Structures are given as structure tokens and as C-alpha cells.
Amino acid sequence: MTPVISVFAASPDGGCGLARDMAVRWALLEAGVAHDLRPLSFAELKTADHKARQPFGQIPTLETDGLTLFESGAIVLHVAEQHGLLPREPALRGRAVAWMFAAVATVEPVIVEREVAVLLEGDRPWTPERLPLIEARLRQRLDDLASALGEAEWLVGDFGAADIMMVCALRRPAAARLLPDYPVLAAYVARAEARPAFVQAFADQLARWQAGAG
Amino acid sequence: MTPVISVFAASPDGGCGLARDMAVRWALLEAGVAHDLRPLSFAELKTADHKARQPFGQIPTLETDGLTLFESGAIVLHVAEQHGLLPREPALRGRAVAWMFAAVATVEPVIVEREVAVLLEGDRPWTPERLPLIEARLRQRLDDLASALGEAEWLVGDFGAADIMMVCALRRPAAARLLPDYPVLAAYVARAEARPAFVQAFADQLARWQAGAG
């Protein structure tokens, strides 16, 4: 059975590849696995049918081999375990899984905090004063991430699932706008975006958006 | 080698068991694994020595069998894989891992957002107006979580790693204060807190705090 990814029927990002299905598409293409899409409208995301797949009514989900997975981190971990996108050596594998959790639980929330401030509280009088506070918290994370990466090409040994999750977090606009101040991280994201599987995943979602499907 | 968990030398929570080492202690006790502690001061957390273990200078880490793991979700996943705290059936195992990621990436960030507002921006004039906005976002998550749990005792089959991560998120004060409005979730947390391994983990950290070690 061809794996099926649930995606936004009309992505709100204008073809920038910022929705969370991007990590899943990218991982599957790195693994050379063809996949189908299940486009869902915002109304369909909130139905009982979709919440049986994804309890919070979000994308992405992955249906494959009798499994119905949710959370991009969990899906990419599953794909990685099946298709060699994690180091084989246990100590390195453990670090890679730790970096996957760090991407979604330690780095991305501060990025999303800025997006929430702009998108959901942008018209509030306090937002201009809050943005520098949020940015300072985000810079702490980026400082530590840049130090940890150092001269390395990827987070743990060869390219893998940890890099997919971390790069997808760093590509979000609230982080991407700071990358010029972090040449190590800017180069890391650029290396990742040059990978054929990323290029293909990006082109796939852009083509859908340009075709008017979102 | 006895596993070693890094913890706060002086926990800021006054013995309430809210620091992120709690999930790791609890998981190891569920697994019947003895462990040692490495207490670290706030200054020690920010040293190069600790950042080699934990790139963001946080607790917990787990050193075991030549591995140095970080991120409570990754550590609990490792313990769960080694000691049967995940379902064996692949479809259920996949859901359980997804719930672990949901706990740290989808539920906990909204809880932490309220904590940040109170702790880091509590003296700002906008915070009283922002708290209801944050609470509304948190209630969306709790609504969905309560619906997903429904009449079930635990998130996926028997008690396991997904419940450890989710209950630790729900025990944080910003979520705990809303639980009276969610009887399903209040009962779920109470069931978890009654487990002998939780009781022991809680008592262990409280005893350290009462001894003045924090």
C-alpha cells in the first residue's frame, strides 16, 4: 500500500513549504518511498473522521502498512527507523532521536511563539514591545544550536531525521529572519535545502499550490 | 552501570515534582531500574561540560550503557523501548510514540506559554489581558485531549510512556488549574499519580528538597 499523507487542501503558506507535512514528504523522498496525498479542508480537519486519525485536528498524518501515525516528529521517526535515516550505532542513534525531540519541543515552540504573537495578537497594543522579548528567548536557542553544530555538516554524523526536523523548524519565518546573524545555521539550512529530496518535496507542494489546490 | 540522571541541584519548584527529570525518574521506576542523580547548579548547567551532554544547558540528561541522552521525551522513549513501556503491537506502538510527541510538541508548549507569561512577563502591563487568550488556546488542546481519551483508562492500551509524558505536562500548574473543568483529564492524572512508581518518584525528589538539596 502506498503511504498516504494528510495535507492542507489549501495551504495558508502560499507555496513556501512551511506546513508540517513538509518534513514527512522530505523524509519519504530521502527514503525513496512514493506517497499519495489526502488533501483536507480546514472544516474536514475538525471532523470526527479526521480526529480519529489526528486527535487535535491537525496535519500531517501518515497512513502506512496498517498504521495511522500523527505528529510530524513521530512520523519522521517511524520513516527513519524503517529506511535508515538514523545512525546505526546506538550512542549516535540516541543523540539523533534526542535532537528530533529538541527540534519540536525546545527550538520550535519559541519560533511558534513569535508567529502566534504576529498572527493572533498582531493587532494588540502590546505586541511591538513583546517581539524583542520573544526574539531574545529565540536567540538563546539559536546560540546554543549554532555552538552545538559548530563545524559539523549535520547534527549527528550523516544527514538524517534529526536534520529534517531541525531544518524544518529553522525554515519557519520567525527563525529564518534571524539566520543571517548565524552563518553556521544559515549554511546548515542551505546545505539541507540543496538535497535532491528536499528540492523535490518543495517542488511537489509548490506545484499543488500553483495548480490552485493549495 | 547504574543510569545517572542530571537534575537541578536546587529545584525551583519547592518539591512539587515539576522539573523535567520527573518523567525520567518515573519511567525508570516503572521499569524497576535503580538510578543515581547528578545534581547541577544553574551555573553548572551552562558550562561546556554540561552542554556537551545537553546542548541547551537544560536538565534532564540520562547517561546509561555508553549513551548520553537528552530531552525528556527522547529519554523516556529509550527507557520505554528497553523496558516494555510501549505496546508491542506495531499500530498501537506507533500511536503511543505519536502521543509522546504530541505531549511535548502540541500540548506542553501552550502550557509553557502561560508560565512564560506569568514568570517572565508577569510585571508587564499586557499580561492580564493576554492570559485569557493563552488560556483559550490551551483549552482547545484540553478539549481535544479529553475527547480522545474519552472513557479509556490510558491513552493507548495499557499504561505506558505516552501517559508518563502527557501526565507530566498536565501536572504543570498552568494546566492543572484547568483540570477541574475536565473531569476526564483530572481522573486520568489522579490514576497516574496513584501508581507506585509515580508515588516513589515524587517522594524521592521531595525528600531531596526537604533535605535542603533542592
Instruction: Summarize pLDDT for B67-113 with one digit per residue, the tens.
Output: 999 999 999 999 999 999 999 999 999 999 999 999 999 999 999 99
What is the distance between the alpha carbons of residues B79 and B58, in angstroms, rounded to a whole number? 19
Cell 553548572 appears where? B44
- Amino acid at site A141: R
Cβ of A56 and B102 within 8 Å? yes
Cβ of B71 and A112 within 8 Å? no
Closest-CA distance, B211 to chain A, in angstroms, reads 31
pLDDT digits (tens, 9 = 90+) for B129-165: 999 999 999 999 999 999 999 999 999 999 999 999 9
What mean pLDDT comes out for the span B199-206? Answer: 97
Class of A4-85+197-210 in CATH: alpha beta
* Contacts B124 to A, Cβ<8 Å: 126, 129-130
Burial class (CB within 10 angstroms; exposed 0-12, middle 13-18, buried 19+) of A34: exposed
* Contacts A65 to B, Cβ<8 Å: 90
Sequence ranges of the domains in chain B: 4-85+197-210, 90-195
Cβ of A90 and B147 within 8 Å? no
- The CATH code of domain A90-195 reads 1.20.1050.10
Measured between CB atoms, which of B106, B113, B125 is closest to A113?
B113
What is the distance between the alpha carbons of residues A143 and A156, in angstroms, rounded to a whole number? 18
Residues 6 or more apart whose CB falls under 8 angstroms from that of A147 comprise: B51, B55
B7 DSSP β-pair partners = B39
Three-state SS at A183: helix
How would residue A213 be classed by pLDDT, with cut points 50, 70 and 90?
low
Predicted interface score ipTM higher than 0.90: yes
Measured between CB atoms, which of B56, B102, B116 is closest to A106?
B56
Cβ of A124 and B129 within 8 Å? yes
Helices (H), chain A: 21-30, 42-45, 48-53, 72-83, 90-102, 108-119, 127-149, 161-170, 173-176, 183-193, 196-210
Measured between CA atoms, the residue of chain A closest to residue B114 is: A113
* Contacts A96 to B, Cβ<8 Å: none
Q: Do domains A4-85+197-210 and A90-195 have the same CATH topology?
A: no
pLDDT digits (tens, 9 = 90+) for B154-199: 999 999 999 999 999 999 999 999 999 999 999 999 999 999 999 9
Please state the separation of Cα B83 from the chain's center in Å. 18
